[in-house]
Structure 1
Amino acid sequence: MAVGYSGWVAQQVPVETPNGSNVSEVISNPEQGPIGELLHEFGIPYSDVFGAIITFVIALFVLYSLGRATIVPFVSRLLNRRDLDKHEKTPLLRLTKLVMGFLALAASLNIAGYGQLLTSLAAIGAAATLAIGLALQDSLSNFVAGMFIYIDRPFRIGDWIEWDEGTYAGIVEDITFRVTRVRTFDNELLTVPNSVLTDDVIKNPVAKDELRLQFNFGIGYDDDIEEATDIILEEAEKHEDILDDPAPTVRMTESSESDRGALADSYVGLTSRYWIADPNRGDYLKTRGEYVTAVKNRFDAAGIDMPDPQIDLAGQYGQNPAVRIDSVDR
């Protein structure tokens, strides 16, 4: 049995550390430490190996416990200063503990006299990391993007966001290092890779304490613009959820706010701008609906018309519509 075992050992392919020493030699012949010397004095065989193992275990326990008692609370306080909630703090604290554990492991190996082995493992780990990184580029991209979301905080859980030029919108339900989950207003759940959000323009209407809204009212050409303006402002001032400061305003609709600006084919455009506090999607829709309804009722009572859009069919056939229509009939 002994001969077979030694023959098996002889056939093994040695793995060398960067300085040329064999890994098995490093493990079986660690540097003699204080504990190893103590064991040697008591005549315990393999005192250097057992001493190194005991030193490693003690060092790992002490360093990791010290890190848990100092580094983790320190990182937790930093996260609290950024006003992160418990759900957002949990993955960051886990990552902190993982990094701290790796550092404690590396330091413990060095203290135990396995510094050369640590160098070898680091080289192997670097090569493995490179191979894994090439195979998981998208996942790593999403992970890095998730880190930026946690650091930059363009949005938080519970925020209403829009992206892809308004194609997608909803309430953020969950943020992980890989994806962000958004609940649409139709109650659909969107699982969005973090890299999509960090590479696009994100609109967060509720990032601030106040939100400015606007609505375009159209009145007839024969109606009194000043009277309509007064009604729009009065109803804004009456609504309890519309702020007095900044004060509501009414201006002639700009060309960028509608197809024809203030003077459309069938109406004169008046744009009302007003502010609400503590905005969210529900408050936004509720306030706008109540406000527009109140203005519409006042317009009806004052005899101010809100005309429907009209299409000039004659203009679709050029300078001589009669000829064009005749040619179509034939």
Structure 2
Amino acid sequence: MPWPTGLQKTITQATQFVHDFGLVFAILAIVAGWYAGRVLTGVLGRRVARRFMRPSVTRTVLRLIRTGTLFVGILVALWTLGLGIGNLFVSVTVFSAVLGLVLAPIVGSVINGIFVIADRPYEIGDMIEFTDTGQRGFIEDITLRYTKVFTLDNTFLVMPNGEMREMNIVNYSAEDERTRLSLSVEVTYESDVEAARAAMERAAATCEEVIEGGPDIRIGSARYPAKPTCYIDAHADSGVELTLRYWAKQPYRLPGIRSNVQQAIREEFATRDDVEFAYPHVQHVFDEESGEANVALRRRQ
């Protein structure tokens, strides 16, 4: 059925108008695609967040939505410039092949990013530590290509996901932020060991960042006492080695928490006469088999 003469004329005029102002329409199409992406992410943002319940997945989905709408706008822009659908398909295919060869490392990083998001070794906001370097930081963002880490040294790391998957990482925030720490102290053999143990437990419990008591903490199938607990670890050369185990509420200030516990123990021992820190003592014994030793005493002026 042929088009009506008036409608056909209107379509012809519209097509001619688009052809005459193709560059303007191409720019408008790209801008419209970019703006539509922002509007869609704003409208769908909360729904996507409630659906996936993970910040990394939510941000990835919203980025894909923005990229997809922008890509549609680019296709419309190319069409307004006179590039047919067949030519678009061929151009995209050739461009994708060239892009795949040139940007193969990036493609590999994207694949690793998919595995990172699927395996969930860490999440946005988690505190991690690189065991190779001992550097700690917070996960700032996770994309398909890289992971952003904001370190405790006020530096910013952008790590490709391929490197992140190959590194040994400790996640302090994966399931439970509470972290178990230990501290060893030696007291003299003349000290009251039981009093020293009680003093160390009491000192650690007074620190604000330390869990002072409560129900046992379960890690897998094992259970550990929540309150600070001190054990006799060894009978060393210079004294009795006591090991204090305690739980920190949050892993963000572990060196500071350890320092506060040590300071509290030092202050607690200072108030007691029956407990004393041990330090190395060396005593030389000479007998008839040791030979002779020339010793001179000099009086101080």
Say yes or no: does 1:50 pair with 2:22: no
* Matching residue of 2:63: 94
- In structure 2, relative to structure 1, the CA distance for the partners of 1:223 and 1:210 (3 Å cut) is same
* Matching residue of 2:196: 228
Superposition deviation, residue 165 in structure 1: 3.5
Task: Tell me which protein shows more strand as a share of its residues.
Answer: 2
* Matching residue of 1:269: 241
Give the TM-score normalised by the residue count of structure 2.
0.62
| Structure 2 gap segments, 5+ residues each | 20-24, 215-225, 284-289, 291-301
* Matching residue of 2:229: 249
Equivalences for 1:97-246 in 2 at 5 Å? 97-102=66-71, 118=85, 121-149=88-116, 152=120, 154-157=122-125, 159-173=126-140, 175-207=142-174, 208-243=176-211, 244-245=213-214, 246=226
| Structure 1 gap segments, 5+ residues each | 1-33, 254-261, 313-321, 323-330
AA matched with 1:294: A
Superposition deviation, residue 190 in structure 1: 3.4
Indicate the SS of the match to 2:169.
coil
Indicate the SS of the match to 1:203.
strand
User: What is the alpha-carbon distance in structure 1 between the residues aligned to residue 171 and residue 261 of structure 2?
Assistant: 23
AA matched with 1:215: L
Indicate the SS of the match to 2:55.
coil
Which of 23, 28, 37 pairs up with 2:3?
37
Superposition deviation, residue 162 in structure 1: 0.8
Percent of matched pairs sharing the same residue: 23
Equivalences for 1:56-67 in 2 at 5 Å? none
User: What is the alpha-carbon distance in structure 1 between the residues aligned to residue 188 and residue 89 of structure 2?
Assistant: 77
Which of 246, 258, 263 pairs up with 1:288?
258
User: What is the alpha-carbon distance in structure 1 between the residues aligned to residue 49 and residue 156 of structure 2?
Assistant: 28
Superposition deviation, residue 154 in structure 1: 0.3
User: What is the alpha-carbon distance in structure 2 between the residues aligned to residue 180 and residue 66 of structure 1?
Assistant: 27
Is the 2:204–2:264 Cα contact (8 Å) retained in structure 1? no
User: What is the alpha-carbon distance in structure 2 between the residues aligned to residue 131 and residue 184 of structure 1?
Assistant: 37
User: What is the alpha-carbon distance in structure 1 between the residues aligned to residue 198 and residue 246 of structure 2?
Assistant: 14
Q: CA RMSD in A?
A: 4.6
Residue deviations 1:213-234 (CA, integer Å, cap 9, x gap): 2222222344333222211222
* Matching residue of 2:218: none
User: What is the alpha-carbon distance in structure 1 between the residues aligned to residue 155 and residue 41 of structure 2?
Assistant: 40
Superposition deviation, residue 293 in structure 1: 1.2
- In structure 2, relative to structure 1, the CA distance for the partners of 1:183 and 1:45 (3 Å cut) is closer
Is the 2:109–2:160 Cα contact (8 Å) retained in structure 1? yes
Residue deviations 1:168-203 (CA, integer Å, cap 9, x gap): 323445555444443444444433323222222321
User: What is the alpha-carbon distance in structure 1 between the residues aligned to residue 280 and residue 92 of structure 2?
Assistant: 68
Give the TM-score normalised by the residue count of structure 1.
0.58
- In structure 2, relative to structure 1, the CA distance for the partners of 1:189 and 1:46 (3 Å cut) is closer
Aligned residues: 256
Is the 1:163–1:197 Cα contact (8 Å) retained in structure 2? no
